[in-house]
Chains A and B, each alone.
Chain A
Amino acid sequence: MRVALLGFGSVGQGVARMLGEKDLPLTLTAVADSKGGILDPEGISIPEAFSRKAKSGSCGRPKVSALDIVSSDAYDILVEVTPTNIDTGEPAISHIRKALGLRRHVVTSNKGPIALAHRELTELAGKKGVALRYEATVCGAIPIIHTLQHGLLGNEVKALFGVMNGTCNYILTRMEDEGLTYDQALGEAQEMGYAEKDPTYDVKGLDTALKLVILANTVWGMDAGIKDVKVTGIDLITPEAIQLAMDQETAIRLIGEAIPSKDLLRVSPRIIPRNHPLLVEGTLNALTVVTDMAGELTFIGKGAGSIETASAVIGDLLYIRERYAGRP
């Protein structure tokens, strides 16, 4: 199947690299970033896209835009991995809407469209008989969406909770291990490339809230938005609070939790026993799903990273190929 890639940042480059290195039944026919694009129905050269990006700052040419690619006939699956816009979801929502309208499958790592327009976009995909998959939006390499949609079929999911933001988890882990202040640990995370220059989105809990909304809408068909989540971040946590937790063999972690029976969507720093399965170190993510038949399941893995997130995107692409290839 032919793949068009929108976005050539960390995730886009990871996907392109894996499509180039692995012998997968997928052909990359178009790629674009914010400055330009390239399109060839026979398949583009992935090494050339990387060298153009290194030389000119864009993987393509200025005269080819993302919208040109979305409107073209050159692809079967659109991979939308442009950066998340938490307020409008654009331009990704428009890209995805357009592609689905043209009966093309869509795979995305972009939280904006799925958190803001999940119902509209899934209904459109259903109407057009194509797939919209978004494994990479939540917890990076952990196949949580696939597990919820397929692996746990027949189960009633009663609750979901976990550590869904590697930046916050890194900061809290460093405060705990080294006695750093919040500002010191944040500065270190920024130096390591784990935190953005403006860390608000992560440390105020908004990223976790978006992921929680995506999971809740996926599992329970809610039409929740970020405004429905009660959010408290980690930016007010003191080294003394961490010490007081450690004195009782516990730790503080930022937890997102969804419990529909209590009408609860909440992101907040919480006290967790040291031996608890959700107590992961560094940038790891961990997520517990509570179900009626399977009981409690906990998943731990890398929540971010170029290749780790590409793993989720590639999984979605191959799932679509397996289900839809050869169909008219």
Chain B
Amino acid sequence: MQVSMKLEMKDTPGQLVSVLEPISECGGNIIAVIHQRDPESESDTLDVQIVLDLPAGRLPALIDQIKERGVDILRIGEERLLHKRSLIMIGHIMHTDISDTVDQIDRTGFAEVSELSLMMPAINERSSARITIKTANRTDMESAVTILRRVAGKKELLVVEPLEEWA
């Protein structure tokens, strides 16, 4: 699960480290630390935005630990579906029931279609669509794409997939 939080802390040495420690103790992985200091500011506090990847269920413990260190959490947001992949479909997309195609992904419970852009040049001509799927992790993404491939195959749609980065 990806979490983004905005923290207010004292502008003194060691403050930032004291917040980062509990994150790794909770098994989290820090993705970004955005550290903004306003040179005009008279205030002795500092706003820091942290983006992290955290195992499910650890967020309450992390919030407690950060508060114990005297840091205020100004805002917190979580993004459940972290993995995103866009594919392009070509064929008779409308006539093969586009809402069914989308539904086959959505009803899995682990994947959802977050964007669909459709271009239809003329009636009876093949149309093209870009479909973006979101899932919580890579394994779910592979399963969702496998479903899309199968559905598209039955409907005689060509699926153009991204070239995956070699991990």
Contacts and interface: CB of A to CB of B under 8 A. Distances in A.
A179 B150 CA distance: 30
Interface residues of B, number: 20
Interface stretch (B6-14, B29-37, B71-79, B84-92): B84-92
Nearest to A238: B128
A272 B163 contact: yes
B57 interface: no
B155 interface: no
B160 A240 contact: no
A276 B164 CA distance: 11
* 7 A-B pairs closest in CB distance: A240-B119, A240-B128, A244-B130, A241-B128, A271-B162, A270-B163, A238-B128
B163 A278 contact: yes
B159 to A, nearest CB: 9
Interface string B106-145: 0000000000010111000011111000000000000000
B83 to A, nearest CB: 16
Contacts of A232: 158
A255 interface: yes
A247 B130 contact: yes
A244 B163 contact: no
A240 B127 contact: yes
Chain A, interface size category, equals 20 to 34
Contacts, number: 68
B119 A244 contact: yes
Contacts of B87: 271
Most chain B CB within 10 A, of A245, A257, A276, A296, is at A245
Interface string A40-63: 000000000000000000000000
Interface string A242-276: 01110110101001010000000000111110001
Contacts of A245: 88, 130, 160
Interface string A284-301: 000010100000100000
A268 B128 CA distance: 17
